Amino acid sequence: MSSEENKVKTEKPKQIILVNESDDERLIKKLNRPDIEKFRAFTQMLRTNAMLKQARITHK
């Protein structure tokens, strides 16, 4: 095994959002996700919210 094969892939999966998808369909898909994916999405939402609360507009 080479060292390249031992490396863990750290890329985040790309999220594709369909424009034509209804809110109900989108929510059903989210409910059917595994628990770990729900947890990761929730923690990402918390981090994004905290970052946006601290953001300051420097120019207009």
Q: What are the tens digits of pLDDT across the range 17-43?
A: 556 778 888 888 888 999 999 999 899
Predicted confidence band of residue 47 (pLDDT cuts 50, 70, 90): very high
Report the predicted TM-score, pTM, of the whole model to 2 decimal places.
0.50
Euclidean distance between the first and final Cα of the chain, in Å? Answer: 54
Among residues 23, 13, 8, the alpha carbon closest in space to that of 44 is found at 13
Which amino acid, one-letter code, is at 54? Q
Q: What is the pLDDT of residue 44?
A: 93
Query: Tell me, what DSSP letter sits at residue 20?
Result: S
Q: What is the pLDDT of residue 18?
A: 53
Q: What is the pLDDT of residue 33?
A: 92
